[in-house]
Amino acid sequence: MAKTIGFGILGGGIIAPFHAKAVRDSKGGKLVAVCDMARDRADKLAAEFKVKAYYSLDDMLKDPEIDVVNVALPNHLHRDAVLKCAAAGKHVLTEKPPAMTLKDTDEMVDACRKANVKFGCTVQCRVRKAVQAMRQAVQSGRFGKILHADTYMKWYRSTEYYQSDAWRMSRKSGAGVTVQHAFHYIDLLQYIVGPVRKVQARMTNIAHPSVQLEDTTLAFLDYECGAQGVVEASTALWPGTDIRIEINGTDGTAIMTGEKIAAWKFRDDRPEDAEIRNYGSGSQATGATGAADLGHADHAVVIQDMVDAINQNREVIIPVTSVRPTLEIVLAMYQSAARNQPVSLPVNDDDSVWDAKVG
């Protein structure tokens, strides 16, 4: 008989309620507790979902009802939390990016492997039906030779959003648009199309002068498969519009807007294409206009998978090892922007980029 899997959420910020709702809606999962050093945050979230409140991770890890910890802390704090969870024998779902360096990511993966615990990453956009259809079309060769793979994220965040937490104004903490917001959509490019071999990026601050980080990134990508691509990401563009992923090949074009298929055209039209063209909902908010303007359906798929993976003793659908290449691309973008030159992958960690001046 399947075991009920207990979850604890570490971090009571903007994304925590989405994790809580996803656990609540799961089959076989139970939200046990929330944890935040800020007692008011922990108490508020615990009261809303009628669970226990903890004020330190060490205390929450002692709770025998908790099997999984969802790490929803500021990005630079992921590593230490994940290592503690692994040492305590808890499975882990961490928010993106998994860490701020490749070294830390590898250390976390190794710790979870040695502790024999599941280690997943919440890059939940991967589970969208439109994304899965695009990836399958690439893998089955329907696009022919891939020529272009692009993402456009023209979002809006107010200055107040950045000022709501100290870490949101710190590049070293992972608050720039590239690693904090666009990470999801850069991830989709590498997930759908495959590895990137070279990037050239420019990062600027065009609408938040009081915040010393990039709010806009423009980057060119060269993929291992021979395709080229563009990443355009901003939180400066009021009122914010849905993201767009575009894949173009010699034999087909597919476009996803938000979570919905906007174009699906191939030389070899197939019976299933009519259904695929209806994938997604144009009415589902996906974060373009505000940090909390999204649903939790994608999170729910990731949470449900963790429950099932534990009970079935299998790998999770989004292991952190599969997200590491995205972090490497993102770090290459920061290095390219700081040095004002193209950067080839693989790259080494270079923490000096966080101190680089933003144009």
Task: Report the C-alpha gap between 217 and 233 in whole angstroms.
Answer: 5
The CATH number, out of the four listed (3.30.360.10, 3.40.50.620, 3.60.150.10, 2.40.50.140), of the domain defined by the range 126-290+324-355? 3.30.360.10
Residue pair 338/356 in contact by the 8 Å Cβ criterion: yes
How confident is the model over 14-35, as a mean pLDDT? 98
Q: Considering the entire predicted model, what is its pTM?
A: 0.97
**Residue 156 DSSP class:** B
Task: Report the C-alpha gap between 143 and 130 in whole angstroms.
Answer: 15
Rg (CA), the chain: 20
Task: Determine the residue type at 43.
Answer: D
Helix axes 324-339, 183-192, angle to 10 degrees: 120
pLDDT at 240: 96
Residue pair 116/102 in contact by the 8 Å Cβ criterion: no
pLDDT at 293: 84
Lowest mean pLDDT among 233-237, 282-286, 312-316: 282-286
The CATH number, out of the four listed (3.30.565.10, 3.90.1170.50, 1.10.620.20, 3.40.50.720), of the domain defined by the range 5-125+295-318? 3.40.50.720
How confident is the model over 222-228, as a mean pLDDT? 98
pLDDT at 286: 86
Instruction: Copy the structure tokens of residue 168.
Output: 């949101």
pLDDT at 291: 83
Task: Determine the residue type at 166.
Answer: A
> CA separation (Å) from 71 to 76, 85, 120, 137, 191?
11, 9, 10, 33, 22
Each residue's pLDDT tens digit, 46-105 = 999 999 999 999 999 999 999 999 999 999 999 999 999 999 999 999 999 999 999 999
Task: Report the C-alpha gap between 359 and 356 in whole angstroms.
Answer: 9
Residue pair 43/50 in contact by the 8 Å Cβ criterion: no
Q: Is the pLDDT score of 1 beyond 80? A: no
Quickly state the pLDDT bin for 338 (edges 50, 70, 90).
Answer: very high
Percent of the chain predicted with pLDDT > 90: 95
- Report the mean per-residue pLDDT for the chain: 97
Each residue's pLDDT tens digit, 162-200 = 999 999 999 999 999 999 999 999 999 999 999 999 999
pLDDT at 258: 95
Instruction: Copy the structure tokens of residue 110.
Output: 């190794």
Residue pair 299/125 in contact by the 8 Å Cβ criterion: no
Helix axes 129-139, 183-192, angle to 10 degrees: 30
The domain ranges of the chain are 5-125+295-318, 126-290+324-355
pLDDT at 290: 86
Instruction: Copy the structure tokens of residue 353.
Output: 């980029």
Each residue's pLDDT tens digit, 117-143 = 999 999 999 999 999 999 999 999 999
pLDDT at 294: 87
> CA separation (Å) from 159 to 67, 74, 162, 217, 292?
38, 18, 5, 17, 15
pLDDT at 216: 98
Q: Sort strands 343-344 and 228-234 into parallel, antiparallel or unpaired.
A: unpaired
CB hemisphere CA count around 2 (13 angstroms): 16
Residue 50 has a CB neighbour count (10 Å cut-off) of 8
